[in-house]
Structure 1
Amino acid sequence: MLSDALSYPLNGDSPLRTILVGGLLSLLTVFVIPVFFLQGYYVRILRGASSGDSEPPTFSDWGDLLVDGLKLFAVNLLVSLVVLVVMFVVAAIFGAGSLLSGAGPAADPGAGVGGIFAVFGVLGFLLFVAVVLAVGFVAPGMFANFAREDSIAAAFDVSTIIDGVTTSEYLVAWVLAVVVGLVLGSIASLLSVVVVGIFGLFYVQVVTYYLFGRGFAAGLDEKRGGAATTY
């Protein structure tokens, strides 16, 4: 799977053009709008990888790219809201515990309640970390299902998402994507000081989205008895 993913951005008739366009859009993300075109391209990668395409999509039909990018942004926003709600709850518990425990040793009842809140605060923090890790693991599957079905609602189809992400195929793809992001992403980031790294970062993004799309689709097909992607 890893070798396929690493060669994927270089397949097709015009891989250099695609990487150049993707890198230029990455350079222009300070103007915001190019971000949505890139997001739309990543949706196409997820969609193509999910259906077994061995060649990356091209930058064409820019209107559709923009629409898909806006949809993926909306999905990201909704997922982020879940994390923010958890963060708010944890912060509220921490704050309440600090205030009550600050009553001092003379105020035994308050100190006792503060201690309880402090315990809940620690548990809440651990819960928050667990939620963030879980979201980081599940979110790519949500994005992949959204791309497959071309529907924002599909990103929150709980049964389908669970079926897809609770498989060895998805786990392997997710781990590989993280490793590629950490290793090659770090190298490309260092090279960004001479601009060429920007194009490297785009290449890394293409590889990781391919892995997410392929891993989710293969896992889902395997779980539901379909024709799984050959590895």
Structure 2
Amino acid sequence: MDIGENIMDSIKYPLQDWAKILILMVISIIPIVNFASGGYYLRIIKSTLAGVDEVPGFDDFGELFIDGIKMIIAYIIYMIVPLIIIVVGAFFLAPAGATTSYAAATMFTGISLVVMLIGAIIAFIISIIAVMGIANMAYYDNELGAAFRFSEIMERISAIGWGSYIIWLIALVIVIMILGFIIGLIAGILMFILVGFIVYFAGIAYLTMLQARSTALTFAASLEGEVVE
């Protein structure tokens, strides 16, 4: 897998159709309706895996909405354990603030930080698997159960190569952070004429499309010799 080519393709991919960036922007800022943005993320992955390089449309909006809910459910299931651990850790801050004993406050704060750190580490490890789990879900026509076929997902990552996969994840995060900073800076400068709000939310839509495309291209590296469903 050529990571540089993957990232460059993904950066250019949304820019071929600005209208769809704006449509996704509008969808993303409307409460409840914005569930469909997750469905569109899956549609980009599915479209890419089918060999289509054009940005997909928003037809059959009901399907996008339902698929978006499935994606949210999948992420909740993936992250429920680390979230519970982090919340439990946060509860130790209450007695730390209530006690008048320095020693007790230090103990409760220390326990809180350790427990929350453990939760964060577990969340990070799980997220590495979840990225391909969501892609696997899109591969199987957005079947929710496909997001949790762990043995298959691990085989996909192994086929890509764990080294290449981790490097790709790091590269993707860095690119999104850099572009996000640039978008935020431009939005901040233009905020006084309200155009900044459009730039900001359009930027989020753009980054969502970029991530979906890059994820699909990475997942596709594990499909050599297979027929895309």
Q: TM-score, normalised by structure 2?
A: 0.75
Does residue 158 of structure 1 match 2:161? Answer: no
How many residues align structurally? 207
Unaligned 5+ runs, structure 1 = 106-110
Q: Is the 8 A contact 1:180 1:208 kept in 2?
A: no
Q: CA deviation at 1:173?
A: 3.1
Does residue 204 of structure 1 match 2:207? Answer: yes
Paired position in structure 1 for 2:184: 189
Corresponding residue SS for 1:34: coil
Distance 1:76 1:90, change over 3 A: same
Q: Is the 8 A contact 2:176 2:207 kept in 1?
A: yes
Q: 2:139 aligns with which of 148, 151, 158?
A: 148
Read off the aligned partner of 2:120 and give its amino acid letter: V
Read off the aligned partner of 1:213 and give its amino acid letter: A
The higher radius of gyration belongs to: 1
Q: Is the 8 A contact 2:43 2:138 kept in 1?
A: yes
Q: CA deviation at 1:42?
A: 0.5
CA distance in 2, matches of 1:121, 1:23: 38
Q: Is the 8 A contact 2:86 2:120 kept in 1?
A: no
CA distance in 2, matches of 1:125, 1:169: 29
Does residue 179 of structure 1 match 2:179? Answer: no
Distance 1:217 1:171, change over 3 A: farther
Unaligned 5+ runs, structure 2 = 1-5
CA distance in 2, matches of 1:121, 1:21: 43
CA distance in 2, matches of 1:72, 1:63: 14
Read off the aligned partner of 2:68 and give its amino acid letter: G
Paired position in structure 1 for 2:25: 23
Read off the aligned partner of 2:25 and give its amino acid letter: G
The Cα RMSD (Å) is 3.1
Q: Is the 8 A contact 2:79 2:126 kept in 1?
A: no
Mean CA deviation greater in 167-176 or 66-75? 167-176
Distance 1:174 1:50, change over 3 A: farther
Give the share of equivalent positions with the same residue, in percent: 26
Cα deviations by residue, 1:124-172 (Å, 9 ceiling, x for unpaired): 4442231121123222111111111121111111112222335344334
Q: How does 1:94-133 map to 2 (within 5 A)?
A: 124-133=115-124
Does residue 75 of structure 1 match 2:74? Answer: yes
Cα deviations by residue, 1:166-198 (Å, 9 ceiling, x for unpaired): 534433432232122101112222333312232
Q: TM-score, normalised by structure 1?
A: 0.74
Corresponding residue SS for 1:33: coil
CA distance in 1, matches of 2:109, 2:37: 43
Q: Is the 8 A contact 1:177 1:207 kept in 2?
A: no
CA distance in 1, matches of 2:32, 2:88: 33
Runs of at least 4 residues off by over 6 Å: 102-105, 117-122
